[in-house]
Amino acid sequence: MTVHLKDIAEYTGVSIKTVSNVVNGNFARVSAEKRQQVLDAIKKLNYQPNVAARHLRKAPVGVIAYAFPDLSNPYFSDVGNAITAAAAEQGYTILLDYTRSEREKELLVVKGLRPHLVDGIILDSHTLDVEDVPSDQTKGAIVLLGERLFGAPFDHVLIDNVAAARIATQHLLSLGRRRIAVIGVVEQCQSEAPSLRLQGYMQALNEAGQELDPLLLANGGLWHRADGAASMRYLLSLDSPPDAVFCFNDLMALGAMSVLHEAGLRIPEDIAIIGIDDIEDGRYAHPSLTTIAPDKEKMGQCAVSLLIGRIKGTRTQAPECVNVPFHLCIRKSTVGNAQ
């Protein structure tokens, strides 16, 4: 039996307009409680969108959506640029869908309920769990990016986060730094990136016979510049401050650097800084920021080509997890003018 919007309205006792708002991702005028009722009913009644858009979607439209969590982080702009270029090469257009890390918006993306006219989706999720996503690829082609939804039945493109973090930490150790802090720990984080990067850091310390000082593990918040700045202030307040800081992304590293400048400390002489992402901002910073550079072009090409394979049906094997390469990019924030 086909389930319609009105069935959900009847089942939940809310208006069809409200159900429609939820299905289209327009939450602003829907209370959290009603929203949840509708989302629960969609799941329970197994609602499938049954509108003209659904019919259209059966014919290829040459459009792919890239759903990403944070428009303020240039890392996602870089990946978006790479995806857009790779898609254009293959004759596809990209629509950017900015989910603001909101669980409901990400849910609608994977359930194909957002009013997109797209053949497939490249999703960097920050909130979903495996049970939230369709159990097979037949409900729409999806490729995952980022450190979440491991084990979901989709091709997944990312870097080896543990290895990347180990190499970043080893670089600081190789320069003789012995009190290496991290910035970017997030308790109960929805993405696994913080814990994977923390693992790599701990592995490197362990291999070097260094003790872990829990005081040197600083919070990451939203991984923005302001979070890096706040955590750097905390680290400077310690009785025994660090001589190097490994920031789990470049944005936090840039925030941390601004605090060191304010405090009159020298980078890297007093404190060396390394990040991850290789955003352009870090290349032009003073001093230029040492970082782990994921191959974002490859990431975009790989995600697009896996997705198009699924869309066209030429790729039928079981989903794979594809690691793209990264490299340590040494700049002045760790080695000074030696660079």
Name the site residues for its own copies (rule: CB under 8 A).
Answer: 20-21, 24-29, 51-53, 55-56, 61-63, 71-72, 74, 77-78, 80-81, 84, 88-98, 100, 114-117, 225, 229, 254-255, 257-258, 261, 280-281, 283-288
Q: Which is nearer to its own copies, 92 or 201 (CB)?
A: 92
DSSP-based helix, strand, coil % in the chain, nearest 5: 45, 15, 40
Locate 308 and state its tokens.
Answer: 């198009």
Residues 243 and 177: beta-carbon distance below 8 Å: yes
Q: Which is nearer to its own copies, 23 or 205 (CB)?
A: 23
For residue 230, give the 3-state DSSP assignment: helix
Q: Which is nearer to its own copies, 61 or 173 (CB)?
A: 61
Give the shortest CB-108-to-its own copies separation in angstroms.
9
Q: How many CA atoms lie within 13 A of 244 on its CB side?
A: 23
Q: Which is nearer to its own copies, 42 or 202 (CB)?
A: 42
Give the shortest CB-88-to-its own copies separation in angstroms.
5
Give the shortest CB-98-to-its own copies separation in angstroms.
6
For residue 214, give the 3-state DSSP assignment: helix
Q: How many CA atoms lie within 13 A of 231 on its CB side?
A: 31
Residues 110 and 122: beta-carbon distance below 8 Å: no
Give the shortest CB-106-to-its own copies separation in angstroms.
13
Locate 278 and state its tokens.
Answer: 């290789």
Give the shortest CB-69-to-its own copies separation in angstroms.
12
Q: Which is nearer to its own copies, 204 or 232 (CB)?
A: 232
Give the shortest CB-208-to-its own copies separation in angstroms.
31
CB-count exposure of residue 59 (10 Å: 0-12, 13-18, 19+)? exposed
Residue of 34, 31, 43 lying closest to 12 (CA atoms) = 34
